[in-house]
Amino acid sequence: VARTESDLDRLMDGIRAREWRALGRGLSLLEDSTPEAAALVGRIFPLTGNAFTIGVTGPPGSGKSTLVRGLARSYRASGRRVGILAVDPSSPYTGGALLGDRVRMQDLATDRDIFIRSMATRGAMGGLAPATRDGVDLLDAAGFDPVLVETVGVGQDEVDVMRTVDAVVVVTVPGLGDEIQAIKAGIMEIADVFVVNKADRAGVERAVRDLHSALEMAEDGSARRPIVKTVASREEGIDELRQHLDACRVVLESRGELERRRFEHLRLRVEDLLERRILLAARAAVDLDAELRAASSRREDPYTLADRIFARVIESTSSKPR
Amino acid sequence: VARTESDLDRLMDGIRAREWRALGRGLSLLEDSTPEAAALVGRIFPLTGNAFTIGVTGPPGSGKSTLVRGLARSYRASGRRVGILAVDPSSPYTGGALLGDRVRMQDLATDRDIFIRSMATRGAMGGLAPATRDGVDLLDAAGFDPVLVETVGVGQDEVDVMRTVDAVVVVTVPGLGDEIQAIKAGIMEIADVFVVNKADRAGVERAVRDLHSALEMAEDGSARRPIVKTVASREEGIDELRQHLDACRVVLESRGELERRRFEHLRLRVEDLLERRILLAARAAVDLDAELRAASSRREDPYTLADRIFARVIESTSSKPR
């Protein structure tokens, strides 16, 4: 289904006008990681860089969705247009992204200046983070600011997604205890603001204290990062969280740190694309299955095989008329 | 620190003799993802394929370490040599791999036919799974069978590690409730045996029931996979778990499924290496930072930039004398 230039023109018009249909179609296109997706990003990219992008992550059950909805309403109340991407690794066990969409959208769907959508990875090669990056760009280009990115889990996938946004909020809840310490490894380091949600539960002070201790142990200035108590279901603490995020934006911008982060994110993004590129080229250049069969009989080790395939890609690509 | 062939010869002699020093030095070398690591894998690889490799994963606090230790003792009691790799993403918040080593080794360190060691990723590009794969190969080549691989967390990293082993055990505990369902996404699908550990706790039957329901929902034959109740701290249920794993090995082998899995694992491994290769080549071929600076001013989108760098790699590599 080749998309013509005029198709793309029309889609871009719809995206710039923030038409829901166009935004949805654009995001679907980006999820599929096709060549058309690359063409769309080519159109979108020059329009990006205006939105402050905020990632919200934390263990399942910490109330991230409710918190993100509250945050969106708070931004909306001050006249901002808010985009939300709920990143949902599709799996037969989670029910996929569509259900999430419906559940999450209910109470926001009537406001045309809050756009919310789940994003799931579909292509085998794309992964979650690249599609999310492209999706955030689309909402940025459409004029949403801030763009909020919410993840479902707390694994490496989510860490990768959090490495695509300007600022990271890590949400925890009282009573998770020691187990949470291990889960948070990898994400603690990139958090800008911590939230202890469900702060009407017993153990909230202890949770804050535990978090403080963990941050102090890091000895990297982490201890100065704010910890905000919220009860997202009653919209308590949300405005305070927003103030911290606004302050964070100002500080990041003034120190040149925002620019530095975006540069590193761009680096990861281009590296991801190069990785995809070499795998496609390898499949085109050699009969990968036949090569793997030889290696699986232990006649050749994986390193030697990879080197040989790489050389073959270089050879066959460079000899092709370009 | 170029390692000469005779250095490698000596190291390989030590590995084949299962000398602890040599095993430890070999694993350290593999963690560093250097060219020497590739040379070592080249020596090791022809000797692999004998060990049955078993991954054990589950949320923090589910008692995986204790379970793996118990399992190792059970195998040992029937005269097997057991290798254990505890995979531990190093992080300033977790204290790194060394502490884990000491804690975990205490009661096994006196038995020379059980080798246990933590493995942490160090190189920026290597990742956890590639180093683990190489480490498993080393223990396999040294004559350990089975090789047990234990992960600390439950994220994408761990899923990747679990995609390198022959059989996967997923451990859960009573009382984790709904939250665990979301965490398990991605890992449920690749489990061969489920364990409900700490089965002396309240709620064990409910945990088993919940697991059953989740598996039945999958409609892919998952429902027939065994669920074993254990109290690892008292070594209860461990022998039953081992019997299920032995049966699993027989079934996988007889159906050709073991061979299929190992083939897919090899594919992932070679693809990982190709990805590393292209990034190294890109850094050699272009001034990546300068290119990224141009893109970060929105003059070029990431897809176009990646395509251009890829073409440049092809050009510069093919024109080099080989």
Q: Is the peptide bond before A146 cis (omega within 30 degrees of 0)?
A: yes
Question: In the prediction, which pLDDT does A232 show?
Answer: 94
Average pLDDT estimate for B193-217: 87
Q: B241: which residues sit within 8 A by CB, 6+ positions away?
A: B67, B71, B169, B193, B195, B228, B230
Q: Give the least confident one: A122-131, B149-158, B226-235.
A: A122-131
Hey, which residues 256-295 in chain B have their CB within 8 Å of chain A? 259, 262-263, 266-267, 269-271, 273-275, 277-279, 281-282, 288, 291-293, 295
| B318 vs A: CB within 8 A | yes
Residue A100 pLDDT > 50, yes or no? no
Question: In the prediction, which pLDDT does B307 show?
Answer: 93
Q: B152: which residues sit within 8 A by CB, 6+ positions away?
A: A182, B60, B86, B87, B88, B89, B94, B100, B158
Cα distance between residue B286 and residue A271, in whole Å? 13
* Interchain CB distance below 8 Å, B49 and A89: no
| A314 vs B: CB within 8 A | yes
Question: In the prediction, which pLDDT does A162 show?
Answer: 85
* Interchain CB distance below 8 Å, A266 and B158: no
Length of chain A equals 322
| A28 vs B: CB within 8 A | no
Q: Give the least confident one: A25-29, A189-193, B302-306.
A: A189-193
pLDDT digits over A48-62, tens only? 999 999 999 887 778
Using CB atoms, pick whichever of A61, A156, A158 lies closest to residue B179: A61
Question: In the prediction, which pLDDT does A101 show?
Answer: 43
* Interchain CB distance below 8 Å, A91 and B217: no
CA A58 from centroid of its chain's CA atoms: 13
* Interchain CB distance below 8 Å, B152 and A182: yes
pLDDT band at residue A213 under the 50/70/90 scheme: confident
pLDDT digits over B75-113, tens only? 999 999 999 998 876 543 333 333 344 444 455 556 678
Average pLDDT estimate for B265-282: 93
Edge to edge, the sheet with strand B82-87 lists B114-119, B82-87, B147-151, B53-57, B167-172, B193-196, B227-229
Contact between A155 and A123 (Cβ < 8 Å): no
Most confident of A10-14, B2-6, B293-297: A10-14
- The pTM (predicted TM-score) of the whole model is 0.79
Provide, as residue numbers in chain B, all residues whose Cβ is less than 8 Å from the Cβ of A189. 91-93
Contact between A36 and A3 (Cβ < 8 Å): yes
Q: B232: which residues sit within 8 A by CB, 6+ positions away?
A: B63, B66, B67, B69, B70, B197, B198, B238
Residue with the bigger pLDDT between A93 and A133: it is: A133
Provide, as residue numbers in chain B, all residues whose Cβ is less than 8 Å from the Cβ of A217. 92-93
Mutate which of A88, A194, A278 to disrupt the B interface (most B C-beta within 10 Å)? A278
Q: What percent of chain A has pLDDT over 70?
A: 81
| A202 vs B: CB within 8 A | no
Q: What percent of chain A has pLDDT over 90?
A: 54
Shortest CA gap B264–chain A (Å): 9
Which structure tokens are listed for B166? Answer: 């022959």
* Interchain CB distance below 8 Å, B314 and A317: yes
Provide, as residue numbers in chain B, all residues whose Cβ is less than 8 Å from the Cβ of A287. none
Cα distance between residue B162 and residue B192, in whole Å? 11
* Interchain CB distance below 8 Å, B154 and A183: yes
3-state SS, one letter per residue, for chain B: CCCCHHHHHHHHHHHHCCCHHHHHHHHHHHHCCCHHHHHHHHHHHHHCCCCCEEEEECCCCCCHHHHHHHHHHHHHHCCCCEEEEEECCCCCCCCHHHHHHHHHHCCCCCCCCEEEEEECCCCCCCCHHHHHHHHHHHHHHCCCCCEEEEECCCCHHHHHHHCCCCEEEEEECCCCHHHHHHHHCCCHHHCCEEEECCCCCCCHHHHHHHHHHHHHHHCCCHHHCCEEECEHHHCECHHHHHHHHHHHHHHHHHCCHHHHHHHHHHHHHHHHHHHHHHHHHHHHHCCHHHHHHHHHCCCCCHHHHHHHHHHHHHHHHHHCCC
Q: ipTM of this predicted complex?
A: 0.84
Provide, as residue numbers in chain A, all residues whose Cβ is less than 8 Å from the Cβ of B188. 91, 93
Cα distance between residue A182 and residue B91, in whole Å? 10
Which structure tokens are listed for A311? Answer: 């050389």
Residue with the bigger pLDDT between A171 and B217: it is: A171
Average pLDDT estimate for A138-160: 85
| B214 vs A: CB within 8 A | yes
Provide, as residue numbers in chain A, all residues whose Cβ is less than 8 Å from the Cβ of B155. 153-159, 186
Nearest by Cα to B146 from B233, B69, B50:
B50
pLDDT digits over B236-270, tens only? 999 999 999 999 999 999 999 999 999 999 999 99
* Interchain CB distance below 8 Å, B277 and A306: yes
Question: In the prediction, which pLDDT does B45 show?
Answer: 95
* Interchain CB distance below 8 Å, B60 and A186: no
| A154 vs B: CB within 8 A | yes
Q: What is the mean pLDDT of chain A?
A: 84
Using CB atoms, pick whichever of A93, A181, A262 lies closest to residue B184: A93
Question: In the prediction, which pLDDT does B31 show?
Answer: 83
Shortest CA gap B197–chain A (Å): 16
Residue A90 pLDDT > 70, yes or no? no
Hey, which residues 121-140 in chain A have their CB within 8 Å of chain B? none
Provide, as residue numbers in chain B, all residues whose Cβ is less than 8 Å from the Cβ of A303. 38, 41-42, 273
| A304 vs B: CB within 8 A | yes
Q: Give the least confident one: A15-19, B150-154, B209-213.
A: B150-154
Interface size between A and B, measured as CB pairs under 8 A: 221
Cα distance between residue A259 and residue A202, in whole Å? 41
Residue with the bigger pLDDT between A60 and A266: it is: A266
A176, closest residue in chain B (CA to CA) = B176
Shortest CA gap A233–chain B (Å): 18
At A264 the three-state DSSP class reads helix
Question: In the prediction, which pLDDT does A95 show?
Answer: 34
Provide, as residue numbers in chain B, all residues whose Cβ is less than 8 Å from the Cβ of A281. 310
Using CB atoms, pick whichever of B89, B186, B274 lies closest to residue A89: B186
Cα distance between residue A34 and residue A32, in whole Å? 6
Count the helix, strand and coil residues of chain A and give each as a percent rounded to the nearest 5: 60, 10, 30
Q: Is the peptide bond before A226 cis (omega within 30 degrees of 0)?
A: no
* Interchain CB distance below 8 Å, A179 and B59: yes
* Interchain CB distance below 8 Å, A266 and B292: yes
pLDDT band at residue A197 under the 50/70/90 scheme: very high
Which CA distances in Å does B183 have to A92, A124, A178, B180, B198? 13, 21, 17, 5, 19
Q: What percent of chain B has pLDDT over 90?
A: 54
pLDDT band at residue A320 under the 50/70/90 scheme: low
